[in-house]
């Protein structure tokens, strides 16, 4: 079932030319469940979170207020980790993911989330983040340089210096703002 579109919230996969690969794209779309510019949020309350979970994972149909807060806290800590790689942001992220439990499988050198529900979802996202950090793809996830936007995108540029979720939207706004400042308007 497709995720319900909110006119104030772009599709979490947008822009499609800046999508990540595999499970990292799932995390990117999770991080893009909030539009900081409009205030629209797919996880705005336990009911909205429950609806999102139902569309996302089938058996998960409801979220308690505590689970809702935990999921939003994890989302925001993960967004912070992308924007500001620091000891404080790593500690904040680890605390938000602290209920994630893993089964270590040394036969295949892998670990799998053992929780169910919201904690299982967080554990799965946390595993993807840790894997991406280990394989170097994490550093390509960026938040848009437009402070009003902060949409998460995957930087495919060779130099890894992408700044905007979309040059047509945020890049153009920044160029227009700079032009007006230079022109004294």
Q: Is the pLDDT of residue 62 over 50?
A: yes
> What radius of gyration do the chain's Cα atoms show?
17
DSSP-assigned beta bridge partners for residue 6? 9
Q: Is the pLDDT of residue 2 over 80?
A: no
**Cβ-proximal residues to 26 (8 Å cutoff; 6+ apart), any chain:** 125, 128
More confident residue, 5 or 146: 146
Question: What is the per-residue pLDDT for 100?
Answer: 77
Q: Is the pLDDT of residue 99 over 50?
A: yes
Question: What is the per-residue pLDDT for 152?
Answer: 94
pTM, two decimal places: 0.84
Q: Comparing 39-53, 93-107, 125-139, which segment has the lowest mean pLDDT?
A: 93-107
More confident residue, 124 or 182: 124
Spans of all domains in the chain: 16-183
Q: Is the pLDDT of residue 125 over 90?
A: yes
DSSP-assigned beta bridge partners for residue 141? 154
Q: Is the pLDDT of residue 120 over 50?
A: yes
Question: What is the per-residue pLDDT for 71?
Answer: 95
From residue 145, alpha-carbon distances to 27, 37, 47, 56, 96 in Å are 19, 13, 31, 29, 24
What does the pLDDT average to over 165-178? 68
What's the distance, CA 11 to chain centroid? 13
C-alpha–C-alpha distance, residues 62 and 7, integer Å: 24
CB 167 within 8 A of CB 185: no
C-alpha–C-alpha distance, residues 20 and 28, integer Å: 7
Question: What is the per-residue pLDDT for 108?
Answer: 55
Residue 104 has phi, psi (to 5 degrees) of: -85, 125
Question: What is the per-residue pLDDT for 167?
Answer: 64
CATH code given to domain 16-183: 1.10.3300
Q: Is the pLDDT of residue 124 over 80?
A: yes
């Amino acid at each position: 079932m497709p995720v319900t579109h909110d006119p104030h919230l772009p599709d979490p996969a947008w822009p499609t030319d800046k999508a990540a690969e595999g499970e990292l794209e799932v995390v990117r779309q999770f991080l893009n469940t909030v539009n900081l510019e409009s205030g629209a949020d797919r996880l705005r309350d336990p009911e909205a979170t429950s609806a999102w979970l139902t569309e996302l994972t089938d058996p998960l149909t409801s979220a308690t207020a505590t689970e809702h807060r935990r999921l939003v806290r994890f989302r925001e800590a993960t967004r912070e980790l992308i924007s500001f790689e620091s000891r404080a942001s790593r500690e904040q992220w680890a605390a938000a993911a602290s209920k994630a439990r893993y089964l270590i499988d040394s036969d295949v050198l892998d670990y799998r989330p053992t929780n169910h529900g919201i904690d299982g979802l967080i554990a799965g996202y946390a595993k993807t983040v840790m894997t991406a950090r280990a394989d170097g793809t994490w550093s390509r996830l960026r938040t848009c340089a437009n402070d009003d936007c902060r949409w998460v995108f995957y930087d495919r540029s060779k130099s890894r210096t992408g700044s905007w979720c979309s040059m047509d939207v945020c890049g153009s706004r920044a160029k227009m703002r700079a032009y007006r400042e230079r022109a004294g308007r």
